[in-house]
Structure 1
């Protein structure tokens, strides 16, 4: 009855509402609210029907406020004066004994309905093809709460090129969000999964804080240790205890010819071993912090206890990630094309199972676990977790990854150019290369093979333009010209032009992302997302733009409305709900009120009033100009009279 499905509906509903007893509606609201809380109704599964009646009654009351053009607060229980069910008995007789209890129940019922009710404005098209701007109220549930991460993703990733593109892309997002919310609802039904999907942001902040604590503990506890004194060789069979790292180094040295030369040397240490294999082992085995070996005994306990807590928090974080996105995980397209022989339809909620985010979470747990036996070395990598939920840092990373393919191709071109230079170096300038900081630069070359030349050019060329790897001849001859020409061309082509191209791509991408965010912010502040009407119209003719986007055309309410339509049976849809549901299923956007808003709708009386005011303003302007013209005419007469008198006085 309250639905606006015909142009004459508003007038009809207003006449009906004039005969409605608001007191009886309050009594109905309290009655069904108490019935929905009754334990007997819950046992027979009838509490849902009673709750539907509660919201139906509440929606009739708020519709009355809409059609009468009054504020919602005017129909609230505390503002209706003597027409209050607390003054009435169930039979209609005034009763003071039930007044306090009824007051409490009514206010509780009203606040409950206000909390879990939302509204949207739709552009309904009836059977005659007439489009009618209507407002519909519906009930929401706590399970429909939109995750903050999803809301931010929609605001900044929806297509805003045109008003039509905006609502069309938003409709696609609505279906993806429904899938995520349905999955979260299933997870929240069980306590053992609900604890992994609740308070995600708080647990994320705690994990970052604890990572900082672990790194701070390492900073104040670690001290450098000299390799000569830190790794002392103990020959087998003498009963001396060695650490696992020392034993690893010793075993490698013992198995090499290096051991045969120095086994009888009492001053032997792994650093004396010059065998290549032993040198490699000494390079990859990390230095053991001194405080973890001896001295401060509490370091080991703190590392194990703190590391255990960090590992548990990391596992909880990874479990939350894989539980939340388990319904959205997809395999690479090649898997669907060649193995399943199907084509996957991509959606906005897709999450790659082998993507960077999945790999990052696995690496994070691995670093947390490896930090316990390896003296906390990997906690520094865990500090990268500050990028999560940080919009600024994520934009910085996107400035590098967005044009990642371009950067890779530019890098490939750079390697080709460096390889060309390394071939030329091997052919013409091999004798000019030397070890940096060597005592005999002229006799030791680091370009004995093409691979050595390539590594030298790649390393020293990008850092110092080969200034440390080449040397000018003592006499000016052709070799000097080749060296100068080589350095100059390498500096111009690779170091100057090549690196600036890379930096330019990154800077341009960052500027593009910054401008994109600026345009999004301007669109959010200047136009309504749903109707695309400018904000100044609502500031001038309605209750303000903020009130409009938060209550009248809130974009999130349309997602809740879609969830409401999916939750109830199709046969229970009203005419407007059925129309909107068919539009959504058919990927049509005609139900969105583009360039329409009830708060800006002008009635016939308002039009006459505005025309009268405009006529009055025009009349006042005309009278003002007429007065100014009269004053100007009098001033001209006075000036002419003064001029005449001046001329005649001079003649006399």
Structure 2
């Protein structure tokens, strides 16, 4: 870096840039340690930027010499001192400067002689400002047309390196770029801000667009973004460098010019070049970085200063221009990444205005100045009077004629002026209407949350965050219902932790869905999903009604042979033998469509829910885990021999949006497809089994499935217990009561124990064992003794099986439904009485805020926090600002500090719990 040839320094910077490209933190730290006390690195930056600063009409410098003992041989030249230099023979057009690099005391830097050789024309251009410490140090005046682009390219390499070094909000490098530990200081932030201001001046002076100037401006803005992100000190330094004025001028290119007389904007629909539009987007991104509240004491003042000097109306016109460009969808914005970048910054500019309007406590339209102008034009009569000649006061005919001509000309001018004014007012009114419509459209995809930002000194800042999230990507009503019904509501901390878990589950599902949307076929399938769903329900109902109306026993409906299939068990009628042709056509035509839609439904469901499936059977896993625990506890030697037993994992409940693959919902869909296929082969017999699909997504059906699933273990054990009791009674019946079973009259079989067991199950569960006769086969008359012990036997069966065991199952289901009802009531009560995010009661918002409903839906919307995580995850980590990076890091570490627990901006910040407030009051009373 100490080489006098600038090209070599630039090549070294380019090489370093490749090392730290894309946020190589290890290389960043290594370079940071090397350049912290290296003057050559910063002097090279100073030299490159200072060359461009010569084009400014106002002298700019960003090198400060710290007070300390120095001598004349060991210091940089300052303004007025000049530079001693000589031009060697044969080296025309080259000025060679001799300068000793500064060595700070105790910094370990040796004094060396650096030769800085830079090309220079024999005479400086006329626009070069007077000599300053910069121009005396860098005596280089490149030609505007040729050498300027070369220097801009070299400065661009330098800016790329600085951006990459500070990428990822590297606080240490950000600090070094502002101040170094040496006897002099080069404020790189101020230098780049001055560079940007100079480039804006050059761009405005040049009538033709320069791609190199625009590219360098974009790199300078990106450099300032990386230097200022999350760093209040650097933000303040950038504003001191007049960077806000540069931003206002950059965005001005999207604004219409004003009429000199009426002050009404003249709408000129000329699209900006795409590179200029992207530069403006970067300027908006820099503006957002400057508005970040990262210092609790001083950031609000910085925000107010920016809000005062920012040209709000220009920003709004920029939003409109970008929106019009995106709607036009020209060839230059067809690239998806470029399209998303421009769209994101359009929302970013709009959200900046929304945030500043909220901070100023003004209505949005009033804040940005969207008011219809009422220009006052000078009356033609006044013009005529002003232009009236003094001779007009005479009574001569010539004077009257001249005055008449003047009035006629004035009337013509008034007519033209009125026409122009009417057209201008009409265009402006139309423009304002379009802006209001645009704001309404952007509001639909705009969300707001409040983030609890913890600063480096452990102070919290409750900052509002606006962000875009398209309505089409939001959670469905079904997903919202699942979340509200199952999320943990024990405490505000538990809510926050569980909300993060649900967010991760939805994030996994959302990312998978976005991957599917990359396939055009899947877009069509998902777009027609709702139409397919309702058409499939309609077909299911129609086919069941059709089958219900035409199925009759053939022997009673036609003259043909009934043609029934006789088997040992069933008589299966074939009603289709006497159908007409149109009945076959209708059944097969709609049956095939039903099967195709069923196949579509099953494939779509399994493809969409693939990331949420759990490939295990809970009951089987529970049995395996029970056997594992028995072996581990009771037979330790076997457990040591077969170590693979310990590798069996414990069964876990499904979490958030997870679904067991072998649960009811996925399995029934497979059966639905099977029933649809079988119905075609059996002429509609299985369509009745497709009817539960209609109720699959209804709340009552889901509660039934949830109740059975929640108590599946108890129900299974009770069922096994009842079957065991029935087996006991079957054995007793076979042993001592087989003669009471009459297979001839009552179809009560007990020839074998199996027959007796099945008979006891059927008769016992349906009739409470009362269907078995109290007299045995062939009994001669009544016998009280037989009746007595049969009464005891039957009553015990009735009490144990019918009254107790079966009622236990009913009680379990009733208690489960009651539990589900209580959970729903508790969730609804919690949702209406307490904010889910901050945990503050609704009474506080009704008394001190703007109402609980507005706070719940606008300030602390539970779904907006989920969408914000999805928003920052959809971006590159290198594009995150300080707030987004903070939330992303906390969320990745399973921390909940970014949630505003017990805090609300509308209530002034921290709100104490009632218990804490009561304790404080009691303590105050005790002290008094």
Q: Same fold (TM over 0.5)?
A: yes
Are residues 596 and 361 of structure 1, via their aligned partners in 2, closer, same or farther at CA, if it must alter by over 3 Å? same
1:20 aligned partner? 310
Instruction: Choose which of 457, 465, 474 in structure 1 pairs with 2:760.
Output: 457
Contact map agreement 2:540 2:690 (CA 8 A) in 1: yes
Secondary structure of 2:836 counterpart: coil
The 3 A distance-change label for structure 1 pair 453 and 581 is same
2:446 corresponds to which residue? Answer: 117
Please give the alpha-carbon distance, in whole angstroms, between the structure 2 residues aligned to 1:418 and 1:231.
Answer: 48
Q: CA 1:306 to 1:27, structure 2 compared with 1: closer, same or farther past 3 Å?
A: closer
CA distance in 1 between partners of 2:374 and 2:456 (Å): 40
Distance 1:301 1:186 in 2: 41
Residue in structure 1 matched with residue 463 of structure 2 by the alignment: 134
Shift of 1:293: 1.6
Out of 867, 875, 884, the position equivalent to 1:568 is: 875
SS of the residue 1:372 aligns to: helix
Specify the alignment match of 2:347 in structure 1.
55
Could you tell me whether the CA contact under 8 Å between 1:5 and 1:126 is conserved in 2?
A: yes
CA distance in 2, matches of 1:500, 1:549: 44
CA contact (8 A) 1:146 1:181 kept: no
**TM-score, normalised on structure 1?**
0.76
Counterpart check, 1:594 vs 2:901? yes
8 A contact 1:288–1:375 mirrored in 2: no
- Structure 1 counterpart of 2:687: 379
Kindly indicate whether residue 463 of structure 2 is the aligned counterpart of residue 171 of structure 1: no
Range with bigger deviation, 464-473 or 513-522: 464-473
Q: 1:534 to 1:399 in 2, by over 3 A?
A: same
* Equivalences for residues 636-651 of structure 1 within 5 A: none
Q: Which of the residues 471, 481, 492 maps onto 1:152?
A: 481
> Structure 1 residues 30 and 433 mapped into 2: Cα distance closer, same or farther (>3 Å)?
closer
Deviation of 1:139 after TM superposition, in Å, equals 2.3
Partner of 2:602: 318
Partner in structure 2 of residue 41 of structure 1:
332
Q: In the alignment, which residue of structure 2 is the partner of 1:211?
A: 540
CA displacement at 1:76 relative to structure 2: 6.5
Partners of 1:505 and 1:579 in 2: how far apart?
48
2:827 paired with 1:541: no
- Measured against aligned partners, the alpha-carbon deviations of 1:581-630 in whole angstroms (never above 9, x if no partner) come to 11100000011011111112279xxxxxxxxxxxxxxxxxxxxxxxxxxx
Deviates more, 1:164-173 or 1:184-193: 184-193
Moved more, 177-186 or 476-485: 476-485
CA 1:205–1:43 in 2, change beyond 3 Å: closer, same or farther? closer
Contact kept? 2:449, 2:466, Cα under 8 Å: yes
Question: Aligned runs of 1:44-123 on 2, under 5 Å?
Answer: 46-72=338-364, 74-75=366-367, 79-82=370-373, 99=428, 102-103=431-432, 106-107=435-436, 109-123=438-452
Alpha-carbon distance in structure 1 between the residues aligned to 2:740 and 2:320: 96
Give me the whole-angstrom Cα distance separating, in 1, the residues matched to 2:293 and 2:582: 74
Give yes or no for the alignment of 1:193 onto 2:537: no
1:117-154 alpha-carbon deviations (Å, 9 max, x no partner): 22210111000100111111122245632233322211
Counterpart Cα distance in 2 of 1:301 and 1:150: 40
**Does the 8 Å CA contact 1:150/1:177 hold for their aligned counterparts?**
no
Question: Which residue is equivalent to 2:662?
Answer: 354
CA RMSD of aligned residues (A): 3.2
Q: After the TM superposition, which segments of 4 or more aligned residues of structure 1 sit over 6 Å from their partners? A: 227-231, 333-339, 341-346
- How far did 1:231 drift? 9.3
Cα 1:64–1:423 change in 2 (3 A) is same
**Residues 518 and 211 (structure 1 numbering): CA distance in 2 closer, same or farther, change over 3 Å?**
same
- Alpha carbons of structure 1 residues 230 and 591: separation in structure 2 relative to 1, 3 Å: farther
Alignment partner, residue 634 of structure 1: none
Contact 2:560 2:578 in 1 (8 A): no
- CA deviations on 1:4-47 (whole Å, 9 max, x unpaired) are 22223223322332233323333333344445556253157644
On the 8 A contact 2:451/2:463 being kept in 1, the answer is yes
1:156-189 CA distance string (max 9 Å, x none): 1111111111110110111111111111122223
The CA distance in 2 between the partners of 1:493 and 1:313, in whole Å, is: 49
Cα 1:228–1:7 shift into 2, 3 Å: closer
User: 304-313 or 461-470, which moves further after superposition?
Assistant: 461-470
Q: Distance in 2 between matches of 1:373 and 1:38?
A: 52
Kept in 1: contact 2:500–2:894 (CA 8 A): yes
Match of 1:405 in 2: 713
114 and 226 in structure 1: CA distance in 2 versus 1, 3 angstrom threshold? same
SS of the residue 1:568 aligns to = coil
SS in 1 for 2:568: helix
Secondary structure, aligned partner of 2:680: coil
Task: Tell me if structure 1 keeps the 8 A contact 2:554–2:577.
Answer: no
Change (3 A) 1:46 1:446: closer
Cα deviation per residue 1:347-392 (whole Å; 9 max; x = unaligned)? 5343333333222111101111111221211010000112221012
Cα 1:32/1:223, change in 2 over 3 Å = closer
Query: Partner of 1:516: helix, strand, or coil?
Result: helix
Distance 1:97 1:526 in 2: 50
Q: Per-residue CA shift, 1:432-476, capped at 9, x if unaligned?
A: 2213745xxxxx973222222212211111111222222236332
> Is the alpha carbon distance of 1:342 and 1:66 closer, same or farther for their aligned partners in structure 2, counting shifts above 3 Å?
farther
Report the 3-state secondary structure (helix = DSSP H, G, I; strand = E; otherwise coil) of the residue aligned with 1:512.
helix
Cα distance change, pair 314–348 in 1 and its aligned pair in 2 (3 A): same
- Quick check: 394-403 or 60-69, which moved more? 394-403
Return 369-378 or 188-197, whichever deviates more.
Answer: 188-197
TM-score calculated relative to the size of structure 2: 0.54
Q: Secondary structure at the match of 1:327?
A: helix
Match of 2:574 among 288, 291, 294: 288
1:96 offset after TM fit, Å? 5.6
CA distance in 2, matches of 1:178, 1:51: 22
How many residues are treated as equivalent by the alignment? 543
8 Å CA contact 1:23–1:83 kept in 2: the answer is no
* CA spacing shift, 1:193–1:576, aligned 2, 3 Å: same
Relative to 1, partners in 2 of residues 1:57 and 1:287: Cα closer, same or farther, differing over 3 Å? same
Q: Report the counterpart of residue 332 of structure 1 in structure 2.
A: 616
Deviations 1:247-275 (A, max 9, x none): xx4xxxxxxxxxxxxxxxxxxxx5xxxxx
Q: Which has the higher contact order (CA 8 A, sep 6+)?
A: 1
Measured at CA, do residues 72 and 448 of structure 1 come closer, stay the same or move farther in structure 2, by a change above 3 Å?
A: same
Displacement of 1:107: 3.8
- SS for the counterpart of 1:587 is coil
Distance 1:330 1:81 in 2: 60
SS of structure 2 residue aligned to 1:592: coil
Stretches of structure 1 lacking an aligned partner (at least 5 in a row): 85-93, 234-242, 250-269, 271-277, 439-443, 604-652
1:386-425 to structure 2, matched below 5 A, reads: 386-425=694-733
Note if contact 2:486-2:656 (Cα within 8 Å) is conserved in structure 1.
no
Shift of 1:227: 9.6
Contact 2:612 2:657 in 1 (8 A): yes
Over 3 Å counting, the alpha-carbon distance change for 1:57 and 1:466 in structure 2 is: closer
- Provide the rounded CA distance (Å) in 1 between the counterparts of 2:444 and 2:368: 14
Write the distance in 1 (CA, Å) between the matches of 2:572 and 2:488. 50
